[in-house]
Structures are given as structure tokens and as C-alpha cells.
């Protein structure tokens, strides 16, 4: 006996209703405005036909105030598992057409179930956020739901990559779920993210501001540093997600997707020699160094617009996935400040926990001097970098390009801080401080007493630089592994990476260190 047709028809009808969200007309209206629906976003992420939906027949608890007679298809969130970028990914996508994508008890349960599944199978989570926040009608059930989501964000942290795409509003406490994930991508024009909106800020403090000031993608990308990427639209956000995934392992017990070339290519790149400016006062553009160092100049920069004095991102070097951390002398002379320290410390910890080797490109004159920096806690923030590098057990390869002065030299992962291989260009200057500063302190009297103080100072600076800052001086003391010509950098780093890839380093067992947060 075949199954009764009525049962099959009912299932079809229920599926259609669930897929229509708040109605096909509402979905179409969004598309006409150039905004994807929750299901469009899922479809964009996954290989067609691979998405297995979870909880399509979910609905809210109908005893809640104001929702007694309403049905909320899928409880305003589409969840499930599919294949993206050649691997299994768990995803949820909030449906703004249904009760503003608000989060109630069942909505939260669907997301939590999915996250627990991701934890068990070891697959990344990608969440599309488009929601008015806690479902007001469900009261403290919604609050509790957020708590359960946050708890799982933390359980998954460091086990599977978590990527948040902010496609619409993400207001109030709801913003903390993306903040607990690894990467946040905001979509231009449709998204905002804030704890207290402009009206609340004005009521509480009298300060006037606009949403653009506090919650736009531009504000978060360049001022607050809360987010990692800005996308032109939803499809672009998915493209960035796929690109990001292409560098990441699915979980913390896997290696990243390395595709090593069969043999190390040892050919030199004379163009790298041409990048060195005539004097150490002229800034070197680290982007050009990175472009020549990595495969096909293909570099996925993370947090490009924030703390631009340090550059971080993912690339491959002769097929090996790496996280790159580079000073950028073209911005604030490449000094390390509070934001640069926070940005790099977080990136180092992400690379370490997901087994991604780190390559450091050093041209750093020191920590940024200033009252604001001192009062803002540069000691605590700078210490995060030291802590993160020293705690990282992945392969760490450091290339000292030019300046490597003082505490900043250590903060950029010197041999003493655990670098496995340290390469230095002949232009490298490794010193407790810059020659100019050192000479002023050490030879103040001699300079003042000289018949031509300026000439005397210049002579002493030159002598100090040659004697104490030279890479050969550091090499003689085993502080660096080798001095290389810039043109040899790509080959030398590729070889060092390949040799170090099997590195195993064990540390004393402990719950966790007390990184100065
Ligand atoms: C229930 C909600 C809702 C919510 C929106 N809706 N937010 N329903 N709970 N939180 C419903 C609306 O009633 C409306 O239903 C539909 O979604 C679309 O909303 P509109 O306001 O018409 O849309 P729009 O003009 O685009 O404005 C979107 C919005 C606005 C900016 C998100 O809706 C808004 O400000 N919502 C409230 C945001 C908020 O304060 N959330 C904080 C809740 S407390 P109909 O039926 O008319 O279509 C919170 C604490 C969490 O989140 C703490 C966790 C730690």
C-alpha cells in the first residue's frame, strides 16, 4: 500500500508555507530592493542541492502574549547543514520577514542545536544575522535563548571557526553573539550593529549621534575595530566567507588546507631587492613585500581599515597556508599602538588555535609614544601581543626587513619569544633602541663639547648603527638564523615553513593563561 496521498499533500503544503516565510509577496519585495531573503543567502552559500534543512516545521510557543493566533514559519530562522567550499558547513539565517527575525525560545533552540552538531562533527558555523533582537512577546524566554546561544558560541570558540554575517539590524545584546565568533562581515547599506542606538544614547547622555556614527559597517571597520570585513552586498559577503574558509581547517584538530607544491621553488625574485628604500627614513610599503612573498599576490587582509599600522591576513606561500603579521611603516611609521596590539594579538591566537603557521614581517621603530597611549593602557595592550606570540605553538617564521627596536622587536616575535626561524635582510637594524636615541643618551656631553655638535652626532649615529644595530651583530649572538638578500625571501620562507610544519611543542598543562585582556 503506498502512503496516503493526503499525507504527502499535507507535507508539501507545510513545506511551501515554511519556505514562504511571512509570504511570497514580502520575499519578493525584499528582492526588488536588492536585498536577499534568508533562504536566498543560504542558497548563495551552499553548493546547489547540498543543503539539508533542520527544523523547517518549527514554530513559536503559541502561549506568548500577542502571538496566540499567529504562526511564525520556521520560527524566523532557517537552519541546516550543507557543502560550501568543498566542506560541510552549518548555517543559520534569520528571516526578517517573520516577526522581524526576532529571537524567541524555539528560534534560539534551533541555532543551539545546529551549533552543538557543528561541535560534534567539527564543521564551521556561518550565521546570517538579520533581526530585531529579543522577541519582545516572549519576554525572558528570549533573553534566556540569547544566553544559550552565547554559551555555545564560547563552547565552539577555538574548536570550529565561527563566521557572522550581519545582513540587517543587529541590535542590543544580540550583537554579542557575532562578537563572540571569530570573524564578522557587515553588509553595506543594509546592516547596522550597536548596543545602544542614537535615541537611547541621547536620552541617557544628551549626546547626539547618527546610526552611521555608531553602528554602520564603515564605523565598525575603521573606528571601533569590531568587524573584520565590509561586503558590498549579501552575495559579496558570501564570497568573502568562502574565501576565508578556503584558508581555514574545519576544526582545531585538522590542518589548514595546505596544497604544498611538490618541491620548494628556490628561484630568487630580484624585484624584492628593488623595494628597499634608499634610506631607513623612507617608508617601505609592506603591501608590496607581501604581494611578492605570497602565491599569486593573493592576500586576504583582515581588518584592513582598522589599525592600519599593522597588516594581518591569510595567504599561501608555495601552497602552505599562513597567517601574515606585518608592520606597515607607511602608517604611523609602523609603530605598535593600542589598536595594533589588540588586532595582532587576536589574529595570532586565531592562527594558533587553528594550526595556521605565522609569518612575521618586521619593520618597527617601537611602541607609539604618547600620553593617550600610556593612559589608554599601552602596557596592557602591548602585553597581549607578547603573550599571544609566546603562547603560540604553531610554526613561527620571522623576517626582519629593517627596524626592529626595543620592546617592539620582541613583540613582533623574535627568537627569544619563540620564533622558530628568524631571517634578516642586510638592511635590518636590531637594537635596544634607534641609533639616534641611543647616541643622544650615551654621548650627550661629547656632542655638546664638540666643535661641530651636529657633525659629531651624525658620526656617532653612524658608528653606533654599524657596530650595534647590524644584523651580523645579532647573527653572531644567534639571535637570527640567517641573513638573506631580499630577493631570496620567498624561497627562504617557503623552505623554513616546510621544514617547520611538523613542529610539535608541548607546554605545561593548565586551564588557560591569564592574558592581560
Ligand atoms: C518582536 C519584532 C521585533 C522584536 C521587530 N519586530 N523587532 N517583533 N520582537 N524585537 C517586528 C515588528 O513588530 C514588525 O512586525 C516587524 O518585525 C518588522 O519591524 P519594523 O519595525 O516594521 O521594521 P523596520 O522599520 O525595518 O525596523 C526594524 C528594527 C525595528 C530597527 C529592527 O523593528 C526595531 O527597532 N525593533 C526593536 C529592536 C529592539 O529594541 N530590540 C531589542 C529587544 S531587547 P509586523 O507584524 O508589524 O510586521 C534585546 C535584548 C537582548 O534584544 C539581550 C540579549 C542579551
Burial class (CB in 10 A: 0-12, 13-18, 19+), 124: buried
Q: How many domains does the chain have?
A: 2
- Which residue among 105, 132, 189, 199 has the greatest number of ligand 1 atoms within 8 angstroms of its CB, and so is best to mutate? 132
CA distance 339 to 378: 9
Is 46 in contact with 128 (CB distance < 8 Å)?
Answer: no
Closest CA to 484 of 421, 431, 403, 394: 421
| Rounded alpha-carbon distances, angstroms, from residue 455 to 173, 436, 443, 445 | 62, 13, 13, 14
214 and 70 in one domain? Answer: yes
In the prediction, which pLDDT does 67 show?
A: 74
In the prediction, which pLDDT does 298 show?
A: 98
Task: Return the number of other C-beta atoms located less than 10 Å from residue 504's C-beta.
Answer: 5
Domain boundary at 197, 230, 245, which?
A: 245
366 and 220 in one domain? Answer: no
Residue 449 lies in a domain: no
Closest CA to 229 of 334, 325, 314, 155: 314
In the prediction, which pLDDT does 348 show?
A: 98
CA distance 294 to 191: 33
312 and 236 in one domain? Answer: no
- Which residue among 133, 141, 143, 175 has the greatest number of ligand 1 atoms within 8 angstroms of its CB, and so is best to mutate? 133
Cell of 442: 650615551
372 and 320 in one domain? Answer: yes
| Residue burial 212-224, b: 16+ Cβ < 10 Å; e: rest | eebbbbebbbbee
CA distance 26 to 14: 18
Residue 349 lies in a domain: yes
In the prediction, which pLDDT does 366 show?
A: 95
pLDDT along the chain (517 residues), means of 10: 94 96 95 96 98 95 74 96 96 97 96 98 98 93 96 98 97 92 97 93 94 95 97 98 98 97 95 91 93 98 98 98 97 97 98 98 96 97 98 98 95 97 96 89 92 93 89 94 98 98 95 96
Q: How far is the CA of 115 from the centre of ligand 1 (A)?
A: 24
CATH number at residue 46: 3.90.226.10
Residue 265 lies in a domain: no
Provide the residue range defining the domain that includes 488.
270-432+470-500
Closest CA to 335 of 232, 259, 422, 408: 408
Residue 343 exposure: Cα atoms within 13 Å on the Cβ side: 30
- Does the beta carbon of 149 lie inside 6 Å of ligand 1? no
Cell of 81: 547543514
In 20-166, alpha helices (H): 24-32, 38-45, 105-121, 140-156
Cell of 430: 636590531
Residue whose Cα lies nearest atom 44 of ligand 1: it is 134
387 and 276 in one domain? Answer: yes
Residue 321 lies in a domain: yes
Residue whose Cα lies nearest atom 51 of ligand 1: it is 173
Residue 149 lies in a domain: yes
Which is the closest atom of ligand 1 to the Cα of 136? 9
CA distance 390 to 212: 39
170 and 133 in one domain? Answer: yes
Cell of 337: 599602538
* Residues tagged active-site: 172-173, 407-408
- Does the beta carbon of 132 lie inside 6 Å of ligand 1? yes
Residue 419 lies in a domain: yes
Q: How far is the CA of 134 from the centre of ligand 1 (A)?
A: 8
168 and 82 in one domain? Answer: yes
Q: Which residues, in sequence order, are bridge partners of residue 126?
A: 91, 163
pLDDT per residue as tens digits for the range 344-382 = 999 999 999 999 999 999 999 999 999 999 999 999 999
CA distance 398 to 386: 14
- Does the beta carbon of 343 lie inside 6 Å of ligand 1? no
Residues 6+ apart with CB under 8 A from 3: none
Residue 448 lies in a domain: no
Q: What is the DSSP track for 249-298?
A: -SSTTS-------SS------HHHHTTS-SSTTSPP-HHHHHHHHSGGG-
Residue 301 exposure: Cα atoms within 13 Å on the Cβ side: 17
109 and 16 in one domain? Answer: yes
215 and 68 in one domain? Answer: yes
222 and 297 in one domain? Answer: no
In the prediction, which pLDDT does 102 show?
A: 95
In the prediction, which pLDDT does 172 show?
A: 85
Which is the closest atom of ligand 1 to the Cα of 176? 55
Residue 131 lies in a domain: yes
319 and 222 in one domain? Answer: no
276 and 240 in one domain? Answer: no
First and final CA of the chain: distance in angstroms? 66
pTM score: 0.96
CA distance 290 to 325: 10
pLDDT per residue as tens digits for the range 384-397 = 999 999 999 999 99
Amino acid at each position: 500500500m503506498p502512503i496516503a496521498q493526503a499525507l504527502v499533500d499535507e507535507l508539501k503544503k507545510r513545506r511551501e508555507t515554511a519556505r514562504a516565510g511571512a509570504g511570497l509577496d514580502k520575499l519578493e519585495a525584499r528582492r526588488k530592493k536588492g536585498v536577499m531573503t534568508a533562504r536566498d543567502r543560504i542558497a548563495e552559500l551552499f553548493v546547489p542541492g547540498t543543503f539539508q534543512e533542520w527544523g523547517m516545521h518549527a514554530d513559536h510557543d503559541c502561549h506568548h502574549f500577542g502571538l496566540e493566533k499567529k504562526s511564525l514559519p520556521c520560527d524566523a530562522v532557517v537552519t541546516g547543514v550543507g557543502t560550501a567550499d568543498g566542506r560541510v558547513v552549518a548555517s543559520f539565517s534569520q528571516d526578517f520577514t517573520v516577526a522581524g527575525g526576532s529571537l524567541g525560545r524555539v528560534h534560539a533552540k534551533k541555532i543551539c542545536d545546529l551549533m552543538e552538531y557543528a561541535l560534534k562533527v567539527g564543521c564551521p558555523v556561518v550565521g546570517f544575522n538579520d533581526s530585531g533582537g529579543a522577541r519582545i512577546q516572549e519576554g525572558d524566554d528570549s533573553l534566556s535563548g540569547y544566553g544559550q546561544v552565547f554559551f555555545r558560541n564560547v563552547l565552539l570558540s577555538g574548536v570550529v571557526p565561527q563566521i557572522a554575517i550581519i545582513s540587517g539590524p543587529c541590535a542590543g545584546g544580540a550583537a554579542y553573539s557575532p562578537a563572540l565568533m571569530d570573524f564578522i562581515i557587515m553588509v553595506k547599506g543594509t546592516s547596522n550593529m550597536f548596543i545602544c542606538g542614537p535615541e537611547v544614547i541621547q536620552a541617557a547622555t544628551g549626546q547626539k549621534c547618527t546610526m552611521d556614527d555608531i553602528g554602520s559597517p564603515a564605523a565598525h571597520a575603521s573606528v571601533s575595530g569590531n568587524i573584520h570585513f565590509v561586503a558590498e552586498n549579501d552575495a559579496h559577503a558570501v564570497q568573502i566567507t568562502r574565501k576565508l574558509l578556503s584558508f581555514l581547517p574545519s576544526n582545531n584538530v585538522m590542518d589548514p588546507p595546505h596544497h604544498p607544491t611538490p618541491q620548494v621553488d628556490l628561484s630568487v625574485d630580484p624585484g624584492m631587492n628593488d623595494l628597499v628604500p634608499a634610506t631607513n627614513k623612507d617608508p617601505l610599503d609592506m603591501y608590496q613585500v607581501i604581494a611578492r612573498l605570497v602565491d599569486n599576490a593573493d592576500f586576504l587582509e583582515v581588518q584592513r581599515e582598522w589599525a592600519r599600522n599593522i597588516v594581518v591576513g591569510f595567504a599561501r606561500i608555495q601552497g602552505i597556508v599562513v597567517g601574515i603579521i606585518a608592520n606597515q611603516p607607511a602608517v604611523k611609521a609602523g609603530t605598535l599602538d593600542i589598536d595594533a596590539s589588540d588586532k595582532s594579538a587576536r589574529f595570532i591566537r586565531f592562527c594558533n588555535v587553528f594550526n595556521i603557521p605565522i609569518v612575521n614581517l618586521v619593520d618597527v621603530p617601537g611602541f607609539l609614544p604618547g600620553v593617550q597611549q600610556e593612559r589608554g593602557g599601552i602596557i596592557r595592550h602591548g602585553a597581549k601581543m607578547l603573550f599571544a606570540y609566546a603562547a603560540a605553538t604553531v610554526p613561527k617564521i620571522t623576517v626582519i626587513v629593517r627596524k626592529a627596536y626595543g620592546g617592539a622587536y620582541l613583540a613582533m616575535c623574535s627568537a627569544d619569544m619563540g620564533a622558530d626561524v628568524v631571517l634578516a635582510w642586510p638592511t635590518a637594524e636590531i637594537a635596544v633602541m634607534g641609533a639616534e636615541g641611543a647616541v643622544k643618551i650615551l654621548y650627550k656631553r661629547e656632542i655638546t663639547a664638540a666643535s661641530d655638535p651636529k657633525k659629531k652626532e651624525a658620526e656617532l649615529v653612524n658608528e653606533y648603527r654599524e657596530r650595534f644595530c647590524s644584523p651580523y651583530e645579532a647573527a653572531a649572538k644567534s639571535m637570527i638564523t640567517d641573513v638573506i638578500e631580499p630577493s631570496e625571501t620567498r624561497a627562504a620562507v617557503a623552505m623554513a615553513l616546510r621544514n617547520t610544519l611538523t613542529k610539535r611543542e608541548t607546554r605545561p598543562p593548565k586551564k588557560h593563561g591569564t592574558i592581560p585582556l
